[in-house]
Structure 1
Amino acid sequence: MDCSKEKNIASRFEDWTINSEFDNRSYQIFVSKPNQAPPPSGYPVIYVLDGNAFFQTFQEAVRLQSRKTEKTGVIPAIVVGIGYPTDNDFDLTNRLYDFTPSAPNNFYNKSLGVEDFQKTGGADTFLKFIEEDLMPQINKKFKVNLQQQTIFGHSLGGLFTLYTLFTHPKAFQNYIASSPSIWWNDRYILNKVPQFMKYFSGKKLEVSVFLAVGSLEKEFMINDTKELSNRLSTLENNKLKILFNEVKGENHISVVPTILSSALRFVSKY
Structure 2
Amino acid sequence: MRAIKLLILSITVFANTAFAQENNKKEFTSNKERTSLVSPQIQVIPIKDTKTERNYELYIELPEDYAENNTKTYPVLYYTDAVWHREILSACQEYILEDAILVGISWQLDINEDLKKERGAHVSRFRDYSISKHSNPEIQTKYQFGQANTHLDFIRNDVITYVDNTYRTDPNSRTYFGYSLSGEFGAYILMTQPDTFNNYIIGSPTIKTLVPYLSELNSKFGPYEASNRSSSLNANVFISHGSLEQEMVKPIEEFVSLLKNRQDGGLSVLKEVIEGDHGIAFPTTAIRSVTWLASLMSHVSSNNNEISFWDIPHLNNAFINTTPEDRKDGISVDTLSVSSNDRNKILKLSQEIFDGKHGNYDALLISHKNKLVFESYYKKGRINLPHGQASAVKAYTSLVLGRAIQMGYLSMEDLNKPLISFLKDVDPEKMTKGAEKITLHKALTMQGGLTIDRDAWKEIEKDSLRLKGQGLVQTLLEQSEPITSESQTYLYGNYNPMLVMTVIDAVVPGTAEDFIKRELLDKLGITNYKWSNHINGFPEAGWRASIMSRDMLKLGHLVLNKGKLNGEQLISAAYLAKATSGIVKPTQDWMPKDYRSGYFWYQTLVKVGPKSYDATFAWGGGGQRVIVIEELDLTIVISGHDGEDKIMTQISEIIIPAFVKQ
Query: Do Structure 1 and Structure 2 share a fold, with TM-score over 0.5?
Result: yes
What letter corresponds to residue 143 of structure 1 in structure 2? R
| 139, 153, 160: which one aligns with 2:185 | 160
Whether 1:265 aligns to 2:291 is yes
In the alignment, the residues of structure 1 paired with residue 196 and residue 225 of structure 2 have an alpha-carbon distance, to the nearest angstrom, of: 14
Matched-pair contact (CA < 8 Å) for 2:127–2:148? yes
Pair 1:229–1:147, CA change in 2 (3 A): same
Corresponding residue to 2:45 among 16, 37, 40:
16
The answer (yes or no) to whether the contact 2:224–2:264 under 8 Å persists in 1 is no
CA 1:116 to 1:19, structure 2 compared with 1: closer, same or farther past 3 Å? closer
Percentage of identical aligned residues = 24
Does 2:276 align with 1:246? Answer: no
For the structure 1 residues 19 and 192, does the alpha-carbon distance in structure 2 shift closer, same or farther, using more than 3 Å as the test? same
Quick one: structure 1 residues 264 and 39, their matched pair in 2 at CA, closer, same or farther if it must change by over 3 Å?
Answer: farther
The counterpart of 1:188, out of the listed 193, 204, 213, is 213
Question: Following the alignment from structure 2 to structure 1, what is the Cα–Cα distance between the partners of residues 139 and 271?
Answer: 32
1:266 positional shift: 2.1
Distance 1:90 1:181, change over 3 A: farther
> 1:57 aligns to what?
88
- Equivalent pair of 1:50/1:90 in contact (CA under 8 Å): no
Q: Which amino acid aligns with 1:178?
A: G
Q: Which amino acid aligns with 2:153?
A: K
Q: Check the 8 A contact 1:197/1:235 in 2, yes or no.
A: no
* Regions of 4+ moved over 6 Å: 86-90
Unaligned segments of structure 2, at least 5 residues: 1-29, 31-35, 111-115, 299-662
| Superposition deviation, residue 198 in structure 1 | 1.4
* Counterpart residue number, 1:70: none
Which of the residues 214, 235, 239 maps onto 1:207?
Answer: 235
Aligned 8 A contact 1:34 1:78 in 2 = yes
Partner of 1:198: helix, strand, or coil? coil
Q: Secondary structure at the match of 1:170?
A: helix
Verify the 8 A CA contact 1:32 1:79 in the aligned structure 2. yes
- Determine helix, strand or coil for the equivalent of 2:131: coil
Out of 77, 93, 112, which is 2:100 matched to? 77
- Output the CA distance in 2 between the equivalents of 1:99 and 1:57: 21
CA distance in 1, matches of 2:98, 2:156: 24
CA distance in 2, matches of 1:124, 1:194: 18
Alignment partner, residue 125 of structure 2: 95
Change over 3 Å in CA distance of 1:243–1:40 after alignment to 2: farther
**Which amino acid is 1:258 matched to?**
T
Partner of 2:258: 231
Q: How has the CA–CA distance of structure 1 residues 232 and 96 changed in structure 2, closer, same or farther, with 3 Å as cutoff?
A: same
- TM-score, normalisation: structure 2: 0.35
Q: For the Cα contact (< 8 Å) 1:55–1:80, is it kept in 2?
A: no
Aligned length: 250
Cα drift, residue 170 of structure 1? 0.6
1:216 is matched with 244
Aligned to 2:75: 44
Cα 1:114/1:23, change in 2 over 3 Å? closer
TM-score of the pair, normalised by structure 1 = 0.82
Larger Cα-atom Rg: 2
Q: Which residue of 2 aligns with 1:179?
A: 204
2:261 and 2:216 mapped to 1: Cα distance?
Answer: 16
Partner of 2:56: 27
Cα offset for 1:188?
Answer: 2.5
Mapped partners of 1:25, 1:39: distance in 2: 34
TM-aligned CA deviation for residue 39 of structure 1? 8.6
Asked if the contact 2:211–2:254 (Cα under 8 Å) also holds between the matched residues in 1, the reply is no
Shift of 1:262: 2.2
Query: How many Å apart are 1:90 and its aligned residue?
Result: 6.5
Alpha-carbon deviation of 1:93? Answer: 2.5
Q: 1:116–1:126: structure 2 CA closer, same or farther, 3 Å change rule?
A: closer
Which amino acid counterpart does residue 290 of structure 2 have in structure 1?
Answer: L
Partner letter of residue 55 of structure 1?
A: R
CA distance in 1, matches of 2:209, 2:120: 19
Structure 1 counterpart of 2:220, one-letter code: Q
Q: 1:186 to 1:223 in 2, by over 3 A?
A: closer
Q: Secondary structure at the match of 1:10?
A: coil
Shift of 1:11: 0.4
Preserved CA contact (<8 Å) 2:211 2:251:
no
Contact 2:209 2:251 in 1 (8 A): no
Instruction: Compute the displacement of 1:141 (Å).
Output: 1.5
Query: Aligned partners of 2:83 and 2:102: how far apart in 1?
Result: 13
| Alpha-carbon offset, residue 252 of structure 1 | 0.9
List per-residue Cα deviations over 1:71-118 (Å, max 9, x = no partner): xxx451001111133999964431011012343xx42x37xx969742
Deviations 1:26-67 (A, max 9, x none): 1121110000245956110001010011022112211222xx
Which one has more relative contact order, counting CA pairs under 8 Å at least 6 apart?
1
Which residue does 1:198 correspond to in 2?
223
| Cα drift, residue 186 of structure 1 | 7.4
Deviation, 1:264, is: 1.4
- What is the rounded CA distance, in whole Å, between the counterparts of 1:234 and 1:185 in structure 2? 18
Q: In 1, are the aligned partners of 2:50 and 2:158 still within 8 Å (CA)?
A: yes
Counterpart residue number, 1:68: none
Q: 1:64 and 1:167, CA in 2 relative to 1: closer, same or farther beyond 3 A?
A: same
2:194 is paired with a residue of what secondary structure?
coil
- Give me the CA root mean square deviation: 2.8
Q: 1:147 aligns with which of 172, 176, 182?
A: 172
